[in-house]
């Protein structure tokens, strides 16, 4: 085995017989969804449609235990996310424990709840990095606030971004891109530079959970996507050495799928507010999977031996055409959640792949929906997945 690799039987709490095929690397990152509470209502939210309630959330001590176990397992970075992680009053304690355990801490925030004193305190506790999501640029604040369903959000985000830089902390701007802001991609990149960000993510929406519910409203046309992709390439050249521009491509316009999560059970662990440990944020949508909870088992045991992680780890579970495809260890057959949602079997090839028999039919959906008049958003809110039409806000 190479350095950093472990066997599934490496954990003393799980004395299974040695399995020579079961060699696993330590995960690199932990996405800690501290809460599903959030003041924003973005219609592309990656949280599940059934949001977890505050009374099932892990306690401070539970999260502190998770941080220590994560560091012992070899995890390097923890992304403190949600929902809105600053809705947790104990965020400082969780950050402090994570930093003391040696983890690099990244706060993924909508920023609208933050006060300057709290940000200072978080920095003192060891917070390393802040990522702020935006919906559009400040000169399009009305559009940004409409998308987020939160008045005044755009201005507040700008203010918080200023504090982050004044405190000398590295800043990333994350901009989920869709039909209602794709015209602003160049302005968003320039805005991130103006805010002093070292990185900007032009993250085309991935259509799971709330975004799938709102797909017909959010899907940009292929032409708009292609123009945005060319623009990103031009800006990368223009801004080399000034800002890093990451781009996430929408599956519907790709020839091959993305290696979702970098491969199932390969590098990332996701923990929900109630402590369920998932191989990806949407894994609960695969209805036959069972998930362990950090309240019941050590994180290392779950990572190495948990059923949900083992199920689609590696390539042995694959069917044709993935099984014999030369790209199988490049993209790992794409996204398991998307394969399940669209074919009913998570072991099928992701229809985002042009080699999937369902690809053409599926890609047509984007073309049709992106040319229709966009329906009203189904805003992300508890119970919002089945809205009463009369109560919905009108998006355009």
The binding site for ligand SF4 (CB under 6 A) comprises 256-257, 321-322, 325, 327-328, 331, 333-334, 349-350, 353, 355
Looking at the Cβ atoms of 151 and 319, the one nearer to ligand SF4 is 319
Looking at the Cβ atoms of 32 and 261, the one nearer to ligand FES is 261
- 77 has which bridge partners? 29, 104
Which of ligand SF4, ligand FES, none does 327 bind, CB closer than 5 to 8 A by kind?
A: ligand SF4
Q: What does the radius of gyration of the chain's CA atoms come to, in whole angstroms?
A: 21
Looking at the Cβ atoms of 156 and 266, the one nearer to ligand SF4 is 266
Q: Report the largest interatomic distance among the alpha carbons of the chain, rounded to a whole angstrom.
A: 61
d(CA 387, CA 180): 21
Q: Is 8 annotated as a binding residue?
A: no
Q: Is 38 annotated as a binding residue?
A: yes
Looking at the Cβ atoms of 187 and 248, the one nearer to ligand FES is 248
Which of ligand SF4, ligand FES, none does 355 bind, CB closer than 5 to 8 A by kind?
A: ligand SF4
d(CA 215, CA 341): 14
Which of ligand FES, ligand SF4, none does 322 bind, CB closer than 5 to 8 A by kind?
A: ligand SF4
Which of ligand FES, ligand SF4, none does 350 bind, CB closer than 5 to 8 A by kind?
A: ligand SF4
Show the tokens assigned to 274: 């109630």
Whether 113 contacts 20, CB under 8 Å: no
Whether 112 contacts 40, CB under 8 Å: yes
Q: Tell me the per-residue interface mask from 237 to 266 with ligand FES, x by CB under 6 A, - otherwise.
A: -----------------------xx-----
d(CA 78, CA 55): 23
Give the 3-state secondary structure of residue 190. helix
Q: Is 42 annotated as a binding residue?
A: yes
Looking at the Cβ atoms of 257 and 275, the one nearer to ligand SF4 is 257
Lookup result for tokens 């405190």? 167
Quote the distance between the C-alpha of residue 38 and its chain's center. Answer: 15
78 binds ligand FES (CB under 6 A): no
d(CA 90, CA 368): 46
Which of 142, 160, 163 has its CA nearest to residue 151? 142
Q: How far is the CB of 252 from ligand SF4 (least distance, A)?
A: 15
Which of ligand FES, ligand SF4, none does 58 bind, CB closer than 5 to 8 A by kind?
A: none
Q: How far is the CB of 248 from ligand SF4 (least distance, A)?
A: 17
H or E element, residue 204: strand 199-204
CB atoms within 10 A of CB 310: 17
H or E element, residue 342: helix 336-343
Q: How far is the CB of 282 from ligand SF4 (least distance, A)?
A: 17
Which of ligand SF4, ligand FES, none does 308 bind, CB closer than 5 to 8 A by kind?
A: none
Looking at the Cβ atoms of 78 and 289, the one nearer to ligand FES is 289
Looking at the Cβ atoms of 312 and 377, the one nearer to ligand SF4 is 312
Q: How far is the CB of 261 from ligand FES (least distance, A)?
A: 5
Residues 299-338 that bind ligand FES (CB under 6 A): 335-337
CB atoms within 10 A of CB 360: 10
Give DSSP secondary structure letters for 43-90. TT--S-SSPPPGGGSPPHHHHHHHHHHHHHHT--EEEEESS-GGG-TT
Lookup result for tokens 């017989």? 17
Which of ligand SF4, ligand FES, none does 306 bind, CB closer than 5 to 8 A by kind?
A: none
Binding-site positions for [4Fe-4S] cluster: 38, 42, 45
Q: Which residues bind ligand FES (CB under 6 A)?
A: 208, 260-261, 280, 282-283, 335-337
């Amino acid at each position: 085995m190479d350095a950093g690799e472990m066997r599934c039987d490496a954990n003393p709490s799980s004395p299974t017989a040695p399995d020579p095929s079961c060699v696993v690397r330590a995960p690199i990152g932990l996405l800690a969804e501290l809460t599903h509470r959030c003041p924003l209502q973005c219609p592309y939210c990656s949280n599940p449609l059934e949001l977890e309630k505050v009374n099932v959330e892990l306690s401070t001590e539970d999260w502190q235990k998770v941080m220590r176990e994560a560091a012992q397992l070899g995890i390097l970075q923890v992304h403190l996310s949600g929902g809105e992680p600053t809705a947790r009053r104990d965020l400082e304690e969780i950050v402090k424990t994570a930093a003391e355990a040696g983890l690099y801490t990244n706060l993924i925030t909508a920023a609208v709840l933050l006060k300057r004193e709290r940000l200072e305190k978080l920095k003192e506790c060891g917070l390393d990095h802040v990522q702020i999501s935006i919906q559009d640029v400040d000169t399009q604040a009305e559009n940004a606030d409409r998308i987020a369903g939160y008045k005044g959000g755009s201005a507040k985000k700008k203010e918080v971004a200023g504090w982050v830089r004044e405190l000398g902390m590295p800043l990333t701007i994350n901009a989920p891109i869709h039909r209602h802001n794709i015209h602003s991609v160049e302005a968003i990149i320039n805005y991130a530079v103006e805010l002093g960000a070292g990185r900007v993510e032009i993250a085309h929406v991935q259509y799971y959970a709330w975004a799938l519910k709102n797909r017909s409203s959010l899907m940009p046309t292929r032409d708009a996507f292609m123009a945005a992709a060319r623009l990103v390439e031009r800006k990368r050249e223009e801004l080399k050495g000034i800002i890093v521009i990451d781009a996430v491509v929408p599956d519907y316009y790709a020839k091959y799928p993305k290696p979702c999560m970098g491969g199932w059970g390969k590098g990332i662990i996701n923990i929900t507010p109630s402590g369920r440990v998932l191989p990806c944020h949407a894994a609960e949508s695969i209805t036959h999977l069972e998930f362990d909870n950090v309240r019941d088992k050590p994180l290392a045991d779950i990572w190495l031996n948990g059923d949900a992680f083992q199920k689609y780890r590696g390539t042995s579970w694959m069917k044709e055409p993935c099984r014999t495809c030369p790209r199988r260890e490049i993209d790992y057959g794409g996204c398991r959640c998307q394969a399940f949602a669209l074919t009913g079997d998570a072991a099928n090839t992701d229809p985002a792949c042009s080699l999937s028999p369902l690809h053409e039919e599926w890609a047509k959906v984007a073309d049709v929906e992106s040319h229709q008049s966009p329906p009203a958003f189904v805003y992300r809110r508890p119970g919002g997945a089945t809205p009463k039409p009369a109560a919905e806000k009108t998006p355009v």
